[in-house]
Structure 1
Amino acid sequence: MNGPIVSELKSGVLRIALKDPERRNAISLEMLEALAEALQAAEQTPDARVVLLHAHGAAFSAGMDLKRVDLGDAEVAERFAARLASVYRNLQRIPLPVLCAVDGPAMGGAVGLVLAADLIFAGPSARFALSETRIGLVPALVSVVARRRLTAGKLKALAVSGTTVDASEAYRLGMVDFLAEQSALREAEDFARKLLRENSGEAITRTKRFLSGSEPADLDQELDRAQVEFRAAAASASARAGLAAFREKRPLNWGEPNEVGM
């Protein structure tokens, strides 16, 4: 299968992979649409009992594809925010258990893809950062998902600072469930096979549905509010300055008002 998302079903485990390694699996509208289709297909695949999300290449994902997603276009920004919110929602609500294997960095919106999973595995090369503020944006949508795992204080510290944390720190914070000695993907695959051997698939599905039903009923409202903030931030002077600096591959000193046009 060609495209930024590939799926493979084997022995009950449906592997869904981000496959655009040349762009470090940066998240484009095309990728979000393909991922949404893959998740919908997973629900309609009788032999699929576990979803395993992972990525090809050295990076899990560099986050939003700032070269192909023109946030200066209000319509594009609105579409991207809506698609990303929909994928986050679907990952959390799909009845199948979702495992995520992170090898390499996961940045910005990609952190939301990771944290929306039920069980998360991180390899030695895994890195995580809510890096939006460094380019003048706001990690609004990913924060809705991150609240499931991080305390309010820890989330605020990561979101405001854009600090990168390694796998060990992410485990300490509760962002990931398992640390792999070598490959997160290999460990997640082994865990998935064990999960299916030792547990009733129907019971797992019913358990996830029950626990998901116990989550705050205002998830949709939170994601809607986050989309509004995402669009507002994308239209701001800070975003214009940050995105211009990114495209021109030049450093930006946010401490110099004249430099950022503020």
Structure 2
Amino acid sequence: MMSDEEPLVRKYSDSGITTLTLNQPQSRNSLSMAMLEALSGELEAIASDADTRVVVLAAHGSVFCAGHDLREIREQFDDQDFQLALFHQCSKVMQQIVSLPKPVIARVAGVATAAGCQLVASCDLAVAADTARFATPGVNIGLFCSTPMVALSRNVSRKHAMEMLLTGEMISAVRAEEIGLVNRAVDEQVLDETVYGMARTIADKSGHTLKVGKEAFYRQLEMPLAEAYEFTSTVMADNMQANDAREGICAFLEKRKPDWQDS
């Protein structure tokens, strides 16, 4: 049992990797307003934390995240202002993940549904236990997963996204890997090894380079081809002036490990 003093989101940092763990297993780690505000606060702090190079988003318990807290929503059926504030807060958190100047890896064990599936899709990378399952089941309860649709449709093809949204059916981790919702579906016994192995590999890179690359990736996605090439050419030319680019190139040519300055 958790005490009342335990945080909604636990935070642990080690060797440049910060793990944020959703910590309400008794409510299936649902995204209540309080949970969303706690997660938003942690992401805001990490954004300016020079010691964090990679973020792992995990969950305590057998469910990764069941989406919005339907009991909370039922209590506020007649308060449309609250409903709008809730969905705006959720959208803010998803955009914070995308705009965070550090890569974010979802570590998924268990079920991720509705806004929980949206949370996985919003992360830059995702690794799931092969026992994990995913769904956008809002259609089953008369509340179409419209905001989860935004992240889902930017990660998988239109027809795969529409199949999940229109049927509301669960898909396996293996199927999620096939359609691109997660990077890897692995045996649960090697989930942490896979997630933190990936995180350590990324954390070993220049923090400045990761920031530049992540920002450029999401910006160019929405551009026409010629505009994307014009934009990324400028990004690369600017990146070339960074200390870490010069150090990295010299280290490669001199066959030594680079000494990153994160600038």
For this structure pair, what is the TM-score category when the shorter chain's length is used for normalisation? 0.7 to 0.9
Larger RCO (CA under 8 A, 6+ residues apart): 1
Following the alignment from structure 1 to structure 2, what is the Cα–Cα distance between the partners of residues 52 and 33? Answer: 18
| 1:57 lines up with 2:61 in the alignment | yes
Question: Contact (CA 8 Å) 1:60, 1:104: kept in 2 or not?
Answer: yes
1:121 maps to 127
For 2:173, the aligned partner's letter is A
Following the alignment from structure 2 to structure 1, what is the Cα–Cα distance between the partners of residues 31 and 193? Answer: 24
2:95 maps to 89
Following the alignment from structure 2 to structure 1, what is the Cα–Cα distance between the partners of residues 143 and 31? Answer: 15
1:191 maps to 198
Question: Contact (CA 8 Å) 1:54, 1:185: kept in 2 or not?
Answer: no
Following the alignment from structure 1 to structure 2, what is the Cα–Cα distance between the partners of residues 82 and 117? Answer: 18
Following the alignment from structure 2 to structure 1, what is the Cα–Cα distance between the partners of residues 198 and 186? Answer: 11
Identical aligned residues as a percent: 27
Q: 1:145-200: CA deviations, max 9, x gaps? A: 11221111111111011010010011111111012222534421121112223x32
1:146 maps to 152
C-alpha displacement of 1:202: 1.9
Question: Contact (CA 8 Å) 1:102, 1:185: kept in 2 or not?
Answer: no
1:29 maps to 33
C-alpha displacement of 1:71: 4.6
Q: Which residue of the other structure, out of 62, 66, 71, is the alignment partner of 2:70?
A: 66
Larger radius of gyration: 2
Give the secondary structure class of the aligned counterpart of 1:67.
Answer: helix
1:78-227 matches, within 5 Å, as 78-183=84-189, 184-197=191-204, 199-216=205-222
Following the alignment from structure 2 to structure 1, what is the Cα–Cα distance between the partners of residues 25 and 101? Answer: 29
1:75 maps to 81
Following the alignment from structure 1 to structure 2, what is the Cα–Cα distance between the partners of residues 186 and 32? Answer: 28
TM-score (norm 2): 0.79
Q: Unmatched 5+ residue regions in structure 2?
A: 224-263
Question: Contact (CA 8 Å) 1:143, 1:155: kept in 2 or not?
Answer: yes
For 1:80, the aligned partner's letter is L
Question: Contact (CA 8 Å) 1:51, 1:97: kept in 2 or not?
Answer: yes
C-alpha displacement of 1:214: 1.1
For 1:109, the aligned partner's letter is A
TM-score (norm 1): 0.79
For 1:96, the aligned partner's letter is K
1:11 maps to 15
For 1:113, the aligned partner's letter is L
My pick for the range that moved more, 148-157 or 97-106, is 148-157
C-alpha displacement of 1:89: 0.8
CA RMSD of aligned residues (A): 1.4
